[in-house]
Structure 1
Amino acid sequence: MRVSSSQFYTDNLRYIQQNNTELAKLTVQMATKNRIQRPSDDPLGAVMLLTLNAELKTLEQYGANMNAVNYSLGQQETQLNGIVNTLLSLQGLVTTAADGSAGDTELRALGQEMSVLFPAILDFLNAKDGNDRYYFSGSLSDTPPFVRDLAGIYSYQGDALVRQVKVSDTSSVASNIIGEALDPAAGFLNQMQQYLDLINSTPAGGVGDESRQMIDNINSFLANVTGEITRIGGIRASLDELAIANSEIGLFTEELKEEVKTINDAEVFIRLNQVTASYESSLKVYSTVSRLSLFSML
């Protein structure tokens, strides 16, 4: 088969251009250390990189979720610890009032001291976060969880929604404590308020029986609060474990990503030398042949 001069030149030019393109690609790979500059370089590898990047992004979001939940639960735990400390102080005062030897003056003094401590418990229960949202109102974070009406009766105004936050592909954790779980139907608040009204009126018969009943009420409320503190501790411990697991997954994913996208220096260097030699050889052949003509044969 005879090959025309124009076809010969066209084929040689195409071969030179192919080598030039390959040379440019290899040069960029050597400079960036990235094997895949565009999807066509390795379609399967490009898809894998997209998948790995998406997984790393998801792990990053999980990390942000865990940090937010951990911080919020830590703040809620601080409020609950404040309640515990105040309850212990109230418990001591009520225990003193339960002693039948306390006189009117002492009972009034005890009642006044309790009246100072009691509002602190309500403040802790109605605590807000940095965005001015109530911790213990469930999903109704703009509503104070515990309020007192005009008749002097406390009630819970929040709902029972526990917000679940996804922290891994297979698990979510609670990010809030419900006020109803701390003081169902505001029972303790109303019991304590009634007790304070009684002791501040200094009844002639004393408050021995009522104080002993109040000690039981305090213990019941204290058990609710400490139970939620324990639950928070469990959630935060599980978050620490998940953070470690997600970190290990992230490290493995990063390593796999680097393996997929990073060049093998030795292989690319050898290929670069081969393409360079072929490119230079093609140029010399084309340059020599392009100067030939029929007059060169005469």
Structure 2
Amino acid sequence: MSNHPAEAADRLPHTRESLAADLAALGVRQGSTLLVHASLKPVGYVAGGPHAVVLALRDAIGPDGTLVVPTHTPDNSDPAGWQNPPVPEDWWPVIREHAPGFDPQVTPSRWMGAVAEVVRTWPGAQRSDHPQVSFAALGRLATEVVYGQPRAGMLGADSPLGKIYGLDGDVLLLGVGHDSNTSLHLAEYRQADPPPARLGAAVQTANGGREWVWWDDIDLDESDFELLGADFDATGTVRTGRVGGALARLMPQRAAVDFAERWMSENRK
């Protein structure tokens, strides 16, 4: 038997109730709009799995809160730019012609984690219709957050990120680092002359068909987000703590974006 009761307790399954208590202790606000980026592995065993985690998140923000997650589909993009892995050039026109069009009702997210997928498929969830960087939301302001995401300027002022900024929402990084903090991209749109990018994706048409579309946006770059995030941590604005077994960071989104805007202007060439 262990002589360390705290360590023994750490091995117990986490529950909806214990996670909700951890989130409240971290500072998650009742009634808030909360954008969550999560990886469940660091959290440890949870009785009920990702379903229980989403219930705990909803308990923490309360009945008047709004839970938002990224439901991005980065594989629905121009194959000419794929690197991990790349595909042969003669595949590109086949992919552009035959990839299923994005349908916000059924297209699964990719690489966003189990929490995002549980929220996306939750009864009553609302999802934006951007073919690459959609968001899903549950709660009082869900429709307001996700409605009208533009194809160009996809993570800019009129995106769900911009809506969360306007609502003075918070960002929770649960078991993930600042490199997963999508909100920092909002600061890139505020830079002078951000580098341009030509983007493409398959979309569903009004008659149930599909087509490949192109749009002009900016060349998003998260390669320095960990450095940026470390400097932001040093300001004391970020609250850190354990949610289950995972290190979690909670921050006001406005403060993070405003700091990132200044940081990028000073540190990016």
TM-score (norm. length: structure 2): 0.29
Larger RCO, structures 1/2 (Cα 8 Å, 6+ apart): 1
Specify which structure has the higher proportion of helix: 1
Structure index of larger Rg: 1
Specify which structure has the higher proportion of strand: 2
